[in-house]
Amino acid sequence: MIFYNNPKPKICSNPTMSNSSTSDLLKPFKLKTKQQELLIRVSILCLVYILAFITRLFSVLRYESMIHEFDPYFNYRTTLYLTQHGFYDFWNWFDYESWYPLGRIVGGTLYPGLMVTAALIYRLLHFLRFAVHIREVCVLTAPFFASNTTLVAYFFGKEIWDSGAGLVAAILIAVCPGYISRSVAGSYDNEGVAIFALLFTFYLFVKAVNKGSLAWGLASAFGYFYMVSAWGGYVFIINLIPLYVLVLLITGRYSMRLYVAYNCMYILGMLLAMQIRFVGFQHVQSGEHMAAMGVFFLMQVFYFLDWVKHMLSDTKLFQEFLSITVTCAVAAGGIALGVGVASGYISPWTGRFYSLLDPTYAKDHIPIIASVSEHQPTAWSSFMFDFHILLFLFPAGLYFCFKRLSDATIFIVMYGLTSMYFAGVMVRLILVATPAVCLISAIAVSATVKNLTVLLRSKNKVAQIGSTKGTSSAKASSKASLDQSQPFQKNGAMALLFGAFYLLSRYATHCTWVTSEAYSSPSIVLAARGAHGNRVIFDDYREAYFWLRQNTPPDAKVMSWWDYGYQITAMGNRTVIVDNNTWNNTHIATVGRAMSSYEDEAYEIIRSLDVDYVLVVFGGVTGYSSDDINKFLWMVRIGGGVFPVIKEPDYLVNGEYRVDKGAAPKMLNCLMYKLSYYRFGEMMTEYGKPPGYDRARGVEIGNKDIKLEHLEEAFTTSNWIVRIYKVKPPNNRW
Amino acid sequence: MEAPIRAREALGFILFSLLFSICRSSSLNHLLISNAERRIDLSSHIVKVYLTLKVENAGSTPTSEVFLSFPPTQVDHLATVEALVTKGKRKKTTLVRLDVKPTELPDAPNDAKYFAIYLENPLKSGESTTLEVLYLLTHSQEPFPAEIAQSESQLVYYRDSALILSPYHIKQQTTFIKTPSTKVESFTRVEPSNRAGTEIKYGPYEDHPPYSFSPILIHFENNSPFAVVEELVREVEISHWGNLQVTEQYTLVHAGARHKGVFSRVDFQSRPTLNGASSLRYLLARLPPRVHSVYYRDEIGNISSSHLRTDSRKSELEIEPRYPLFGGWKATFVIGYGLPLQDFLFETSDDRRYLNFTFGCPLLETVVDKLTIKVVLPEGSKDPSAVVPFPVEQHLETKYSYLDVVGRTVVVMEKKNLVPTHNSHFQVYYTFKPIFMLAEPLMLASVFFLFFVACVAYLHIDLSIRK
């Protein structure tokens, strides 16, 4: 019901309308009208703020207040550590529980922004005597920041267009599925606060450019600092802003305002960002940050040239000077970059960066990046799913932006276009594009509705249009008088307006539906519909992790595919070999190799890694498709990438991946197959099907007589989703 | 390994006791027990012993104390001792509960421990009376073998004496031991003794002097899960706005034979009677009636496998741990629920308030090794005092909850080794002025008021430096 509030703000979103319609009635109370407008605006913003928060609470209501998915569990664990041990211990934390036997320097390999934010909120609440649990704070951090993002979107929209567009932008972003996908309650991930930080930095920077004030530049530097502390996506900012500056320079929009804003933001932002240990000196050493530095020097050259131009009256002389300086500057920059790269001082671009520029790069070179589903190129349908009508409004908005080109609109256009490209490369980057798409679409909606309402009202008081000095532009009034000649124009406008409202209400329902159906599942707890329409809960993950936590020795080492590493350490409180922080490809490849070898070969690897338990995820009984057998080819690929003994064709039959009788012999006898299907051949899963019928893949398994020699079944959850095996000690030698 | 040592200990114990019994002081031996019947119920892991004693005063002076004696190994596991006496004649008999207190006797043989039963009326010379004694032993069945596989059933040892350990001469005594099933591997024979079905009978034995002891060892099958709560912390928070919030933190362990080797889900699911017969699949908690907002969770979230049945007299909460508990497996969880305050909070005539609540653990058939009850009184309450029907350790703490400024007084009571019979009521008395109830709403209201005032002020005051 909340979502039907949505069209309402749009009626009131046009301040000119409320201004002028009430102005003739309440002319003596001019101030009062303004106050009314303020009241309406503030109450709409409050409602949007609340809406953005509560629309993200589906998962809490459906399931419970819990942390979702994979990475959030690491963030939760570190936040817990931060609140229990304090900031310095957190900063110097060496985690023995992951990447056994290597360990992980947690303080130096994470972006602490999210954890520090949550810990601060927790401290503040406790200071105000709200005895909340840290888990609740973590669960609600993302919705809270999403609410804050709507406010930033409002101010940003106001800055680049007008307050009407700002309001529409706030509403659009509040419910946009592209953003909700990463900010539902429980999705305690860096992106939750990072999108807020990203948009806030952009807003502050645009404000700084518009105002040319050092204060706003400083604020944007701090916003950038927060962004750097929160998410690796800060690289987008540090490349987009120089690009934007470059575009402004090329289009001849160089100004003192830009100079002040960029220099202040870049220098201070860089110095601040160096305080984050994980980022360190990358701003001066890494290839990905060099664009910003180059533009910084270019700015100085421009300023210098400007000064020289001011001093020299002879244009010809200046032209010569210009050509010499530019050549020298470019040459010096090129040489510096060349020397830096050659001497290894400046590191080349990382694989992740390459894969952004070239979508096929990861597939050929870095299987570990390609194996993650959210790093896949985006399908057209997921654009539609995440943006809905915004996808059509976006080009319209671009049109309006180009029509009223300013420093701010150029920025939003560039932001929109670049992020749309990146969204096309990787599914997860739809998130980065969402704010831009919402803002640009808001401009389209706001401008259209404004034009239409002006048209509607102009009919009644055609005579007054000339006299009213409202904010409605002269263009609009001239358009109105021009359109006056056309018949049915009022009806047409009315129809268009209703059409717009219809589309927007469709958008609201679509967003709610997507949020409720697609993005509110914690993925730890699986829900399905039973035979009688009742809800069946599969809580197997937590069953297994809690079993590990309670019934294994505290120093037990658990080997599993890296997807489950964070969850095992956070919920099972046990040491893992690899986890979702995929920093050591060789280590992951070793695990992949163990999983894809025969049992006795795997046993040697397992012994060398000092593993006590092996955990696999198996969906054959429940029909849960994202299990280890379906991920197995990636294990083979990643393992084979480092250890050429493992060859992908050994596991395929005529290029086809099968687990039934026709499967490759190596497939049928590798460790992963054995562990997944151990004693599954005795199990009746579905009526009318033979025993050992795998429901996830819809086949009868090929190897029903599985004997384990070096491992033994230690625990299997009630729906068989998680299976844990204990590694037996080696046999006595005599 | 351990068994022979114990047997030797017991043998030494008999010798000692006989020796001592000869040189006993005469303060006790004017009483004698003309007939004793003991029924030991081993069907669950809590050993229930019903003792019927016909006590006769053979001395010349009236006495009002009857002593029970226990070997020191049993005393450590003794959870509770109750004594009843039958009153009235023939049909109109009523049972009257008697006071039982642990006491020390000066020359106890071999560290035997005593409990004194205080009779209502002194037993005159020549008179006799019949006492019904019930005592419960925990942790008294030792699994043997100590480790079993999933498909094996759980066998345990139970050690006791064929003769009742008593400071008095017993003329005639019989002991019946009830085992949970007919599967008894072995039992010590002390003639006359025999076994029929699930019952083993020792006796009747005639004329045994004080402190007679004859160790017996019974090896039998007991597949009931040994549910032991190692630690239970119950927190009862009183809110004068009408709610009593109870939070119970459990550390549950299956104290039976340890699970060894493989846990196979296939076998466990397809042949549940043969596999994991002694495993703990579910627990039943009996909660007070009108319970609301019940939750059942652990450190990593909600546990979805629980059912609540409520009727007007009681509520039953059936909970399943996340995984079936085999021997040695542990689970920790939290149960929380709210109760209407008027059912539990009353006012005394002198304007004090008191909470009347049950002490023990709501889970049925479980032993609690250590129980801590924390009664969180509302902020501003004074002079707390607790009245508990049995000895407990007490101290006070302070807790800060939502919007607390000075903190809430917490009355903490601790007791070790509890069985379900400890679920009797206790009272916590305190004084509380109702005006304190308004403190927190007023605080919130004033904060909002100040916020709105600040907003109004911000809108009306021009703070710009330049005009």
Q: Which residues of A touch B401 (CB under 8 A)?
A: 131
Output B10 or A358, whichever has higher pLDDT. Answer: A358
Please tell me the least confidently modeled range out of A302-311, A682-691, B36-45, B458-467: B458-467
Closest CA to B246 of B290, B310, B281, B283: B290
Binary contact (B263, A714; C-beta < 8 A): yes
Is B300's CB within 8 Å of A542's CB? yes
Rounded-to-integer distance, Cα A725 and Cα B38, Å: 49
| Beta partners for residue A302, in sequence order | none
Nearest CA in chain B to A713: B262
Structure tokens at B31: 């009483």
A60, HSE (Cβ side, Cα atoms, 13 Å): 20
Answer whether A551 sits within 8 Å of B401, measured CB to CB. Answer: no
Give the E-state strand segments of A283-385 in sequence order. Answer: none
- Whether B434 has a pLDDT exceeding 90, the answer reads no
Phi, psi values for residue A251, rounded to 5°: -80, 10
Spell out which residues of chain B touch residue A569, defining contact as CB-CB under 8 Å.
Answer: none
Give the minimum alpha-carbon distance from B400 to chain A in angstroms, rounded to a whole number. 8
Residue A7 has pLDDT above 70, yes or no: no
B262 and A713 within 8 Å at the Cβ level: the answer is: yes
Q: How many CA atoms lie within 13 A of A44 on its CB side?
A: 28
- Residue A327 phi/psi, 5-degree rounding, is -60, -45
Across the interface, of A539, A545, A550, the residue whose CB is closest to B304 is: A539
Partner A contacted by B323 (CB < 8 A): yes
Radius of gyration of chain A (CA): 30
Following DSSP, what letter does each residue of B302-327 receive, concatenated?
E---EEEEE-SS-EEEEE--SSPBPT
Stronger pLDDT, A280 or A44, i.e. the higher one: A44
Q: In what order do the strands lie in the sheet with B128-137?
A: B63-70, B113-123, B94-103, B78-87, B128-137, B47-57, B31-41, B169-178, B199-208, B193-196
In order of A17, A63, A181, A519, B457, the CA distances from A68 in angstroms are 45, 11, 12, 11, 43
Report whether pLDDT(A442) > 80. Answer: yes
CA distance B376 to chain A (A): 15
The structural domains of chain B, ordered by start, are 31-221 (2.60.40.1730), 227-441 (2.60.40.1730)
- Identify whether A420 is part of a domain: no
SS3 call for B130: strand
* DSSP three-state, residue A722: strand
Compute the nearest-CA separation of A100 from chain B (Å): 23
Q: Where are the beta strands (DSSP E) in B266-362?
A: 283-287, 292-298, 301-302, 306-310, 315-319, 330-340, 345-347, 353-358
Q: Does the beta-carbon distance from B263 to A546 stay under 8 Å?
A: no
Query: How near does any CA of chain A get to the CA of B384, in Å?
Result: 24
Residues B97-155: tens digit of each pLDDT: 888 888 888 777 778 888 999 888 888 888 888 889 999 999 999 998 889 988 888 99
The length of chain B in residues reads 467
Q: Which of A287, A311, A346 is the last residue of a domain?
A: A346
Q: Is B263 on the interface with A (CB under 8 A)?
A: yes
Q: Answer whether A129 sits within 8 Å of B265, measured CB to CB.
A: no
Residues B398-420: tens digit of each pLDDT: 998 888 888 899 999 999 888 88
Query: A322, A346, A370 — which closes off a domain?
Result: A346
Q: Does residue B235 sit in helix, strand or coil?
A: strand
CATH number of residue A674's parent domain: 3.40.50.12610
* Cα–Cα distance for residue pair B134/B239, rounded to 1 Å: 39
| Predicted pLDDT of residue A473 | 45
Give the residue numbers in A contacting B (CB under 8 Å), as ranges: 63-64, 66, 129-131, 524-525, 537, 539, 542-543, 545-547, 549-551, 571, 679, 682-683, 712-718, 720
Helices (H) and strands (E) in chain B, counts: 4, 31
Please report the DSSP string for A458-517 in residue order: HHHTHHHHHH---SS-HHHHHHHHHHTTSTTHHHHHHHHHHHHHHHHHHHHHHHHHHHHH
- Burial label for B24, CB within 10 Å (0-12, 13-18, 19+), is middle
CA distance to partner chain B, nearest, from residue A723 (Å): 10
B349 touching chain A per CB within 8 A: no
Q: Is the pLDDT of residue B202 over 60?
A: yes
Is there a contact between B403 and A571 if contact means CB atoms under 8 Å apart? no
Say which DSSP state B162 is in: S
User: A259 is written with which tokens?
Assistant: 């100079």
Give the pairing type, strands B227-239 and B367-376: parallel
**pLDDT for the residue A578:** 92
Distance from CA of A88 to the nearest CA of B (A): 26
A162 located within any domain = no
Residue B9's pLDDT is 54
pLDDT at position B109 is: 78
DSSP secondary structure string, A509-533? Answer: HHHHHHHHHTS---SSSEEEE-TTS
A673 in any annotated domain = yes
Question: Where residue A280 falls among pLDDT bands split at 50, 70, 90?
Answer: confident
A chain contacts of residue B252, beta-carbon cutoff 8 Å = none
B123 backbone dihedrals φ, ψ, rounded to 5°: -85, 115
Of the partner residues B301, B323, B403, the one whose CB lies closest to the CB of residue A547: B323
On whether any CB of chain A is under 8 Å from the CB of B458, the answer is no
Rounded average pLDDT over A545-555: 93
Residue A384 within a domain: no
Q: Which of A318, A346, A374 is the last residue of a domain?
A: A346
User: Is residue A115 scored above 80 in pLDDT?
Assistant: yes
Residue A86 is assigned to a structural domain of this protein:
no
Does the distance separating the beta carbons of B264 and A716 come in below 8 Å? yes
User: DSSP states of A544-609 as a string?
Assistant: HHHHHHHHS-TT-EEE--GGGHHHIIIII--EES--SS---HHHHHHHHHHHHSBHHHHHHHHHHT
Domain of A258 in residue numbering reads as: 212-346
Residues 6+ apart with CB under 8 A from B20: B107, B109, B110, B211
Nearest of B444, B396, B390, B440 to residue B417 by alpha carbon:
B390
Cα angle A238, A240, A151; round to 5: 90
In a domain, A615, yes or no: yes
pLDDT digits (tens, 9 = 90+) for A579-627: 888 888 899 999 999 999 999 999 999 999 999 999 999 998 888 888 9
Token pair, residue A349, equals 């671009």
Q: List CB contacts of A61: < 8 A, sequence separation 6 or more.
A: none
Is the confidence at residue A685, as pLDDT, over 80? Answer: yes
Whether B451 and chain A come into contact, CB under 8 Å, resolves to no
Out of A537, A715, A720, whose CB is closest to B304?
Answer: A537
* Tally of structural domains, chain A: 2
First to last CA, chain B: 96
A550 contacts on B by Cβ (under 8 Å) = 329-332
Tokens describing residue A138: 């973590």
B298–A551 C-beta distance less than 8 A:
no
Whether B5 and chain A come into contact, CB under 8 Å, resolves to no
The Cα–Cα gap between B100 and B135 comes to: 11
B188's CB contacts (< 8 A; 6+ apart) are: B162, B215, B216, B217, B218
In a domain, A187, yes or no: no
Measured between beta carbons, which residues in chain B are less than 8 angstroms from residue A679?
264, 266
Residues of chain A in contact with residue B402, where contact means CB-CB under 8 angstroms, are: 129-131
Q: Locate A716 and state its tokens.
A: 């299997």
Q: Is residue A373 part of a domain?
A: no
Q: Do B264 and A717 touch (CB under 8 A)?
A: no
For A507-539, the pLDDT digits (tens) are 999 999 999 888 888 888 888 887 787 888 888
Q: Is B440's Cβ below 8 Å from some Cβ in A?
A: no
Q: How many CB pairs lie under 8 A apart between chains A and B?
A: 71
